[in-house]
Structure formats: C-alpha cells, structure tokens
Chain A
Amino acid sequence: MAETHDRPPEQFTLRMRRYDPESGEAPYWDEHTIELEPHRSVLEGILQARDRFDGSIGIRCSCRQAICGSCGIRVNGEPSLACHTHLDAAKRGARNGVIEIEPMGNMPVLKDLIVDMDAVHWKKIQRVTPWLLAKQPVPEREYLVEKEAMVDVTQSMACIQCGACVSDCLAMEVDPGFIGPAALAKAYRFVGDPRDDQQFERLNDLAQDPQGIFDCTHCFKCVDACPKGVNPMGQIMRLRRIAIGDHHIVDQNNGERHEAAFTTLVKDNGLLWEAELLPRSYGGNSMFGKFAPAAGKELLSSLPAILKAVLRGKVTPMGALKPHKIPKADLKAVQAIYDKVEGREQRYELNLYISGEDEVAGEPIPVAAGAGADGGEQAAAPTSPEGSANQ
C-alpha cells in the first residue's frame, strides 16, 4: 500500500457533463486537467477542478469515505461513489485516457453532478414504509430475537442510500414508476425482520403493485452498481420467494403464475415448454390455463408476432403443441430432486455475503464428518424465511 501512496502526482483529464436547468442553456461538456497522486479519488479531482478552474461546478459530497452516500455520480458511464473511485482506476477504464464524469441517471439534474434525490429516490423509499411496524405487545425491555435472523437483514442494512442502483436501474429507465432496487432492498430489511408484524401485508402490497417486485427485469445492474454489496436484485428475489413460497400470494401481475408455470413445466418435461409457459402465465398453471379469458386476450394481442413466426417456420404447430422432453430415466431423477428439495420443512438458502467463501482456491477442505445423505441436511446452511444461517 505504501508504495502506491508514494507515487508522485500525475495529470488527469476530467470530462464533465455540465448543466444548469435554471440557465435555459442546453447541457454541455467541460474539460479540466487536474494534478493529484493516482490513488486519490475522483471526488478530490473534481474538487480540485472546482477550486482551481471553475467555482461553479456543482457536486454534492460530505464524508469523503464512502459512508454518507452523497457523492453518487457516473464515472465512464458506470454509477459510482466519486470518493470511492481512485483516479488511476478511473483512467484505466476511460476511453482515450479521459475520465468521463456525469450525473447519475433516472433522476432529474438540479445542477451539473447534483441530481434530485428527493423527487425519485427518497419518494420511493417512503413508498415501502421504511420503519418497523412492531409486533404487539411491545415488550417492556428489548425484543429478543435469534442472532441469525438479524444477521440476515444486515446485507440490506448496509445500504448508504447513495442512489447508484436507482441511477442505472433498467426497469426504471422505461417505467419510472417502478419502486426500484434501493427501496425494495429497504423493504426486505423489514420483511426479513422477525420483530415486524406486517410481513404478509408488506409483501401483498409489493406483489400486487404493477410497479412492485414483479416489475424487476433481473438485469443485475443494481448488483454491480452498489458500492456496498447490498445486492438489491437478490433482495427482490427473496421478497418474491417469501411472497409466493410462504404466503402463497397470487398477484395480479402474473408473477406467481409465471413462476409456478415455469417450475412445473420443467418438472414435467425436464426442459422448458415455451408455448405452454406464456398462456399459463396469464391463465393459470394447468393444461387448461390457455383457455382462460386472460390467456385468450394475450394470445390475440400477440397474433401479429405469432403469425409471422409460424409463416417463417420459426415456430411450427407441432413444435408448439408437443414439449421437448429429456429421457424418461433422467426425468424421473429430476422429479426426485424436486420432491426431495421441495419436500423439506424449511427452504435452504446460502447467502455468500453472510457466509463468505470457506475455501481458498485450490485448497480442499475436508467434508464435515457424518455429512451423509441425511447428515448433510444438518451440515448445510439452513435458512428460514426469517433468517439465513451464519456459517
């Protein structure tokens, strides 16, 4: 570490997106060359440009150590904390060596690199009732809960509200009303809290909302954007899992039907049967699903695409009517896996954020004694909906 910090100052060129909505002028790009040690942050670079060249550069910052979440921006097109991005790393990822700096996306720009977090991010956080709705009666002293249960929600509690995930959410880009990754991760923080009294109500609300948990496109953008490893998409998937698996919530957005149809079709055939998946997602998870009015309506609206696909021989009537299957003996093996795993009293979940990796690469660790067919079940990391075990 000492070596890198001893490196002499170098020049870095920052290309900055400037915009002042109140001026009536269009946004434009501005370039400044700053001089700092390579391990210093992009934030320090921006501040130097502001001090030396242009006092009107708008940037919000406070702690300068990746805790307060104030300085979210885009560096070379990727959402980042300005204080958490080294200049040399930013230069390596830059085109032609020029570090490109923009305000975050999906939120209106107030000035230059400052976006309106109130209008988008904080509104969405408020949407999920971000406080504990305590179980009654409230004990005289503190609530007593299992340690594991609280460890489970620490991942979502690690959020510093910087908005990086909101900035690049691809679902929000086309559907601004989507509750979004930060707020839904916050929702999990309370859904997963054993002291909360409203787990079903929270989940039902988020599942029925057309812009709720089933509006996430599963694009992993928020996973990479988060500087704190919160894995918002993972939290959204857990919300879905608990809503459907534990509370059997059937939502109006086809979320539950889609998951049920997908899982059943793979169990029945070993492979996915796409022609059956779509109608079942709308009409219900059985061979009769496609005859339900909702499925018929959907079929009708998709006719222009279906007809062309049939015309080109992409989809053949026989191919659509008959599923692909894996060999019988293998299908039986797959179904046995389904029966065993789904028949457990508790779902097993391994969260690497909490358990970490137990092995250094190339260094095998002996298997726990007695971890046989049944012993293994005790050996693995169990998690109830309320908690995943800390390995």
Chain B
Amino acid sequence: MKVAYWPGCVSRGFTPELHGSMAKIAPLLDIELIELDRACCTGAGVIAEHNQELADTLNARTFALAQQVQGAAMMMNICSTCQGAQSECQERLDANAEYREHVNSTLATEGLSYEKGLTNKNFLWLLVEEIGLESLSARVKRPLTNLRVGPFYGCYIVRPRERLGIDQEHPRDHYLDHVIEALGGTVIEYAGMRKCCGFPIITMNKEASLKQAGRHLGDAADAAADCLVTPCPLCHLNLDLQQPLAEKVVGRTLDMPVLHLPQLVGLALGLDPKELGLNRHVVRPTSVIDWSTSVVGAAA
C-alpha cells in the first residue's frame, strides 16, 4: 500500500530512531512510504494558538501536497501530535466551503489546492484498520511472549473523540492494546495510559510537567510493566529523555524504557534492536531485550 508519508519534525530531530525504525518496518508490512519532504511543521497546536488561519493554511498546503502523490491510498503520519493538529485543521477546512476556498486562495499562488475529504491516519490506525491485526500477527517472527507492555497513547490521538473518529466501530483509543496483543505481548493497564505526558507545559511549568511524566511512569512500574510503547514522539521526549529529571521530581527510581510504536512492531517482526535505534534511548531497554541474544522478554 502506497501512502503519502508525513514523518513530522521531532521524528527527524530529537527522536531520529522513530523515523528510522518506521523506514525499516515499512517494507515488512508492504507499506510504500512517499515522504512529504516539501511539507512544513503542523504547528503542534501552538501555531493554531497563535493564529488559527495560519495553522489551517500551512496544514492545507500539506494536505494538498499529499493529494498530489500519485497512487497514494491516503496520508499517514507517525506522530500523535501531528495527527491531532492536522485533524483539528481538517475539521474546519472540511466543514465550511467558503472557508476552504479562502484558505485555498492563499495556496493558489503556489498552484496548490486542498480538496475536501483527505484520509489521514496515524500509523497506529493504519496498522489496525488497513493492514489488520490478523495480518500483523501472521508476520510476527519473534513474538513478544512474556513481555509486559504498558500502552501510552498520548492526548492528541484519543481526544476529542468525535473529531478523531473514535466510536464503537473504531475503538481507536484501544488500538495500542490490540497491537500489543497481536504481537504476542501482554497489555499492562495503568492509571496514566491515556493521560497527558506533560510535554506541552515543559517550558511553562516544568515541575508539573515532570510530575505528570513521573507519575505515569511510576504507575506503570507499580503495575510491573517491562516497558511502555507510544505513538507520540513528544510523549517520548518527556517520558524517556526527561526521565532522569522526572525521577527527581517524584522522588523515586523509575527505570522505565519507552519504545516508539514502530520499534515495538519491528522487534516482533524480527529486526535487530540496534537497527531499530533501541540503543539511542536515554533509558536503555535492558528489561525488554537481552542484548546478547536479542531475545525479547528474556528478562521477564
């Protein structure tokens, strides 16, 4: 399946292992990634806060570029925050023809135009809805047996439910659980799995931000999770990169590895941990992998 692929900024900046691992697993899942390398940042909600029309126009430009990719079934992203920011802009653009025309008039100078109704799915949604859990299971070479995985969804991919198309037929707020199970792992439920990682206020209220990260990591540790998995690189920054600081705020040792979704999938598909960039995290996933043999769950 061919997709217009939006990797986002952080997956190519502070979490390069995310973009890298997605590129590694795509061929194994028969996904052809046509990278939208001309597109700009979604604004992550911050540009919309600054000027709604600016965010809508920048994202409409990305949508228009995606619609130009010949033979692409849809647009795909690997960042929850991108998904949330894009969905918000798309909701306004799709709801009102006059507004869409207004935004398109700005894009016209570049010869671009956004047509209502783009399908834009996060990799998690695509994995479940397009590839399917059975097909995913069938591709597993190294099942995550005995691996206790705590899903960490992040806010932008679970709320608001209506905008994100979450309903009884599409329980997207449970897809991470389903994927972990399909890969042979054990889902660990804990209080913070759908709460905020704290990243958006890291520069405004660092203590509250790190308290959020620290609490969720602590809750997962108390539920005896071996690791967390997240579809959001910004959550990854607060949960992994900032974990040494979060430990100080909550006053306990956490030592909780946090994997990007493509990394977890890649492990199950038989890829080498280093190939997936698992050695690049601040918290080493030693509880996940026996580094000498690359056997998943050996430590469990």
Chain A interface (Cβ < 8 Å from any Cβ of B): 92, 170-171, 173-175, 178, 210-211, 214-221, 223-224, 237, 240-241, 244-245, 253-255, 257-259, 262-263, 266, 270-275, 278, 281-282, 301-302, 304-305, 308-309, 312-315, 319, 324, 326-327, 330, 333-334, 336-338, 340-342, 344, 347-350, 352, 355-359, 364-368, 371-374, 376-377, 379-381, 391
Residue B46 at the A interface, CB < 8 A?
yes
15 pairs across A/B with beta carbons < 8 Å? Answer: A170-B212, A173-B195, A219-B196, A237-B48, A240-B49, A241-B50, A266-B58, A273-B13, A281-B203, A305-B245, A334-B58, A350-B99, A358-B95, A365-B97, A380-B102
A358 and B97 contact, CB distance less than 8 A: yes
Return chain B residues, CB-CB under 8 Å to A319.
13, 16
Chain B positions 225 through 242: 1 when the CB is less than 8 Å from some CB of chain A, otherwise 0: 000000000000000011
A358 and B96 contact, CB distance less than 8 A: yes
Return chain A residues, CB-CB under 8 Å to B107.
337
Residue B140 at the A interface, CB < 8 A?
no
A221 and B205 contact, CB distance less than 8 A: no
B203 and A381 contact, CB distance less than 8 A: no
A218 and B106 contact, CB distance less than 8 A: no
Residue B177 at the A interface, CB < 8 A?
no
B12 and A324 contact, CB distance less than 8 A: yes
Return chain B residues, CB-CB under 8 Å to A305.
241-245, 282
Return chain A residues, CB-CB under 8 Å to B242.
305
Chain B interface size, as a band, is: 35 or more
Chain B interface (Cβ < 8 Å from any Cβ of A): 9-10, 12-17, 37-41, 43-54, 56-58, 61, 84, 91-92, 94-99, 101-110, 116, 155-156, 159-161, 168, 195-196, 198, 200-205, 208-209, 211-212, 215, 241-245, 279-282, 284
**Counting chain A CB atoms within 10 Å of each CB, which of B13, B37, B284 scores highest?**
B13
Q: A305-B241, A348-B102, A380-B102 are in contact. Are A391 and B96 (CB under 8 A)?
A: yes
B96 and A337 contact, CB distance less than 8 A: no
Task: Name the residue on B nearest A357 (C-beta).
Answer: B95
A174 and B10 contact, CB distance less than 8 A: no
B201 and A347 contact, CB distance less than 8 A: no
Task: Name the residue on A nearest B284 (C-beta).
Answer: A312
Of the residues A253, A263, A333, A348, contact of B110 by C-beta under 8 Å: A333
Cα of A338 to Cα of B211 in the assembled complex, Å: 36
Return chain A residues, CB-CB under 8 Å to B200.
217-219
| A-B residue pairs, 3 tightest by C-beta | A380-B102, A220-B159, A376-B105
Cα of A77 to Cα of B208 in the assembled complex, Å: 23
Total A-B pairs, Cβ < 8 A: 258
Of the residues A257, A313, A326, A372, contact of B40 by C-beta under 8 Å: A326
Return chain B residues, CB-CB under 8 Å to A244.
50
Task: Name the residue on B nearest A373 (C-beta).
Answer: B105
Cα of A245 to Cα of B280 in the assembled complex, Å: 39
Task: Name the residue on B nearest A215 (C-beta).
Answer: B205
Cα of A281 to Cα of B244 in the assembled complex, Å: 21
Give min CB distance, B17 to chain A, whole Å: 7
Cα of A358 to Cα of B97 in the assembled complex, Å: 7
Of the residues B54, B209, B211, contact of A337 by C-beta under 8 Å: B54
B279 and A175 contact, CB distance less than 8 A: no
Task: Name the residue on B nearest A262 (C-beta).
Answer: B46
A352 and B280 contact, CB distance less than 8 A: no
B41 and A271 contact, CB distance less than 8 A: yes
Return chain A residues, CB-CB under 8 Å to B280.
312-314
Return chain A residues, CB-CB under 8 Å to B212.
170, 173-174, 217
**Counting chain B CB atoms within 10 Å of each CB, which of A210, A221, A266 scores highest?**
A266
Cα of A215 to Cα of B203 in the assembled complex, Å: 10
A314 and B208 contact, CB distance less than 8 A: no
Return chain B residues, CB-CB under 8 Å to A170.
155, 195-196, 212
